[in-house]
Amino acid sequence: NMEAIGFSEIVNEMKTIQDEISSYINETTNECYLEDIWDYQKGNGGGRTRVWEHDQFIEKGGVNFSGIEGPQLPSAALKSLPISLEKAGFKATGVSIVLHPINPHIPTIHMNIRYFEAGDTEATEPEVWWFGGGIDLTPYYPQFDQVVAFHKTLQKVCEKHDRDYHAMKLVCDDYFYLKHRNEHRGIGGIFFDHLNDGDKAQVLQFVVDVGRTFIKLLDIIFPNQELSYTDAQREFQLWRRSRYVEFNLLWDRGTKFGIQSNGRTESILMSMPKTACWFYDRKVEEGTPEHDLFQFIQPRDWVNISIDELNLSAEY
């Protein structure tokens, strides 16, 4: 029964996921977030932005919730929607996360889950609705076993809900690609959009499970906090972070849409690291762990691969 799932129920699920992940990060890192509660100016609702800016574990991170309703869609949104929705109201909610740890051995991780509907706000069922989201990982000093574990964890949540992990992985690889560099941003993950096939409750359950999986993924990478690192490794991380910035500002659809629709700038740019470095035409020496990164940041069948298939330096 599709009518059973209302917007407020989806909003509550999103808030719960934000709370669970925020608590986990607080407890694991012993660092607290700063909370910024904001109201949506052009309609109803608002959000809870939670930001970590510290000097031991999370250099910059955010776990953001928003739930908004508006009388009219932003023009940027209409491009992909039927013309009948030109004057329609809309509702949108989601959780968006980016964590940039200080230690170069911990990857940057990003997650987003979202729900959108548009149509007559008084109607029982909106004319258009869908879910979207994804999780992806951007390591600096990747560990093979952790990369495989990351992908197997995502595969598991997809298969539990009869979702095609390989298709969602492919979309992710295609999406997080820096065309101007001919480079992929990280080791990928899953990415899905306009998910509205079948029963809304079942699609919601999948999306909620993706959100819950985030903590399992942090369990894989957060223990790397124990690994020591050098100034040179930190510099390499800051250089690679510049690619993250380039992707977010030049290619990311969410950033572009947010800015074009006069969204809340501080929340939209929450994904930016606190520090990043650009060096002119920097090259990486072969036979080093830094050079090995490029063996990782290309599309591979991580759930079925053996380490011998990567051309890694002998230091491992």
Of 110, 151, 180, 184, the catalytic one is 110
How high is the pLDDT of residue 1? Answer: 45
| Residue pair 44/69 in contact by the 8 Å Cβ criterion | yes
pTM equals: 0.95
User: β-strand 108-119 against 128-138: which pairing, if any?
Assistant: antiparallel
| Residue pair 158/168 in contact by the 8 Å Cβ criterion | yes
| Residue pair 185/178 in contact by the 8 Å Cβ criterion | yes
How high is the pLDDT of residue 314? Answer: 65
How high is the pLDDT of residue 80? Answer: 73
In this structure, the chain runs to a length of 316
How high is the pLDDT of residue 257? Answer: 83
Amino acid identity for residue 233 in this structure: Q
166 classed as catalytic: no
- What are the 10-residue block averages of pLDDT along the chain, 316 residues in total? 77 98 98 95 93 97 95 76 81 97 98 93 80 98 98 98 98 97 97 93 97 98 98 98 97 88 87 96 95 97 95 75
How high is the pLDDT of residue 119? Answer: 87
Report angle CA 215, 218, 223 to the nearest 5 degrees.
135
How high is the pLDDT of residue 2? Answer: 46
| Residue pair 101/150 in contact by the 8 Å Cβ criterion | no
